[in-house]
């Protein structure tokens, strides 16, 4: 379902207004949550707009325990269902059988294969039946995200609209919202993490490093720090 965002939404409305527009414009909207700070903010905002918020998350099978704890914490706090989506067992068995369980350390291509099987393919399957999905992308997170639109037809999932209500927000704005509204946040932020993904592929960052420097940290400078959910080689 394709709906053109009105000018105000496309060019800088408050995230709450973008979410309200999304719920008014699309019958079936889902928040795709990684349970990083941005997800927490979006779920909190959405829960203030309506009680029946759809949330789904990708359980790659390699998440840190703290992320699983966050899923339950958020579910309890907001009294919402969180759909936990797993990779296809056959895809997984073929990949692990062919390349081993820690294939991501061996080459960028194998890392992208793992992300495809554990993240991109399950997301594509899970989005069937929805008209729009909401993501926590922000333009300041990475050069690959600098052109992120607030709302646009999703090139990867053609019948859907992809909505990024926080696209124009800074990290400080995200954390100010979390503090003001006492929103639950992922405990790994308190251990120096600035971006949180799968356990074997994420480390804490050091002062002065990019926000996403801890993702796939072993890869060479210049390798794109994206898993394919939001970047497939062109502009986001
Ligand atoms: S982040 Fe690492 S473990 Fe997770 S899907 Fe990507 S390569 Fe696999």
Nearest CA to ligand 1 atom 6: 115
Q: How confident is the model at residue 134 (pLDDT cuts 50, 70, 90)?
A: very high
pLDDT in tens, 88-115: 999 999 999 999 999 999 999 999 999 9
CA-nearest residue for atom 1, ligand 1, is: 198
Phi, psi of 200 (to 5 degrees): -75, -10
Q: Assess contact for 72 and 81: CB atoms under 8 A.
A: no
161 and 125 Cβ atoms separated by less than 8 Å: no
- The residue whose CA has the least distance to atom 4 of ligand 1 is 198
Q: Is 7 exposed, middle or buried (0-12, 13-18, 19+ CB in 10 A)?
A: exposed
189 and 39 Cβ atoms separated by less than 8 Å: no
Q: How remote is the CA of residue 87 from the centroid of ligand 1, in Å?
A: 12
Instruction: Tell me what pLDDT residue 20 has.
Output: 97
Confidence band (pLDDT; 50, 70, 90) for 222?
low
Domain that holds residue 66: 7-201
Is 227 assigned a catalytic role? Answer: yes
pLDDT of residue 236: 27
CATH number at residue 34: 3.40.50.620
The verdict on residue 78 lying in a domain is yes
Output the ligand 1 site: residues, CB below 6 A. Answer: 60, 62, 104, 111, 114-115, 118-119, 197-198, 200-201, 227
**Predicted pLDDT at 3:** 58
Cα(201) to ligand 1 centroid in Å equals 6
Question: Is 225 a member of any domain?
Answer: no
Whether residue 91 is contained in a domain is answered as yes
Q: How many structural domains compose the chain?
A: 1
| pLDDT reported for residue 143 | 84
Per-residue pLDDT of 29-86, as tens digits, reads: 999 999 999 999 999 999 999 989 999 999 999 999 999 999 999 999 999 999 999 9
Kindly give the number of the ligand 1 atom that is closest to the alpha carbon of 199: 3
Strand spans (E) along the chain: 29-32, 55-58, 82-85, 132-134, 151-153, 161-163
Q: Ligand 1, from 115, 122, 203, 219: best to mutate by most atoms within 8 Å of Cβ?
A: 115
Is 232's pLDDT higher than 60? Answer: no
pLDDT at 90: 98
Residue 152 placed within a domain:
yes
Residue 196 inside a domain? The answer is yes
Beta-strand pair 151-153/82-85: unpaired
**Protein residue whose Cα sits closest to atom 5 of ligand 1:** 115
Residues contacting residue 5 through CB under 8 Å, at least 6 positions apart:
21, 150, 151, 152
> Which of the residues 114, 115, 201, 227 is marked catalytic?
227
pLDDT digits (tens, 9 = 90+) for 141-180: 888 889 999 999 999 998 999 999 999 999 999 999 999 9
pLDDT in tens, 196-210: 999 999 999 999 888
What atom of ligand 1 comes closest to residue 227's alpha carbon? Answer: 6
In a domain, residue 30? The reply is: yes
Instruction: Confirm whether 233 is domain-assigned.
Output: no
**Cα 14 to the center of its chain, rounded Å:** 19
Report the pLDDT value the prediction gives residue 235, as an integer from 0 to 100.
Answer: 31
Which residues, 6 or more positions from 53, have their beta carbon under 8 angstroms from its beta carbon?
31, 43, 46, 47, 78, 80
């Amino acid at each position: 379902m394709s709906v053109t965002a009105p000018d105000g939404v496309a060019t800088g409305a408050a995230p709450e207004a973008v979410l309200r527009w999304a719920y008014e414009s699309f019958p079936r909207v889902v928040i795709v949550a990684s349970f990083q700070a941005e997800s927490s903010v979006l779920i909190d905002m959405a829960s203030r707009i309506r009680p029946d918020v759809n949330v789904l998350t990708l359980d790659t099978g390699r998440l840190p325990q703290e992320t699983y704890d966050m899923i339950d914490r958020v579910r309890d706090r907001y009294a919402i269902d969180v759909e936990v989506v797993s990779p296809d067992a056959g895809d997984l068995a073929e990949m692990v059988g062919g390349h081993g369980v820690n294939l991501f350390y061996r080459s960028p291509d194998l890392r992208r294969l793992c992300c495809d099987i554990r993240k991109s393919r399950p997301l594509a399957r899970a989005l069937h039946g929805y008209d729009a999905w909401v993501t926590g992308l922000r333009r300041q997170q990475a050069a690959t995200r600098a052109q992120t639109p607030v709302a646009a037809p999703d090139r990867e999932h053609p019948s859907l609209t992809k909505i990024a209500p926080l696209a124009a927000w800074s990290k400080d704005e995200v954390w100010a919202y979390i503090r003001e509204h006492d929103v639950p946040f992922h405990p790994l932020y308190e251990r120096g993490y600035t971006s949180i993904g799968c356990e074997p592929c994420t480390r804490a960052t050091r002062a002065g490093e990019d926000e996403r420097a801890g993702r796939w940290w072993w890869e060479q400078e210049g390798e794109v720090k994206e898993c394919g959910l939001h970047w497939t080689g062109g502009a986001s």
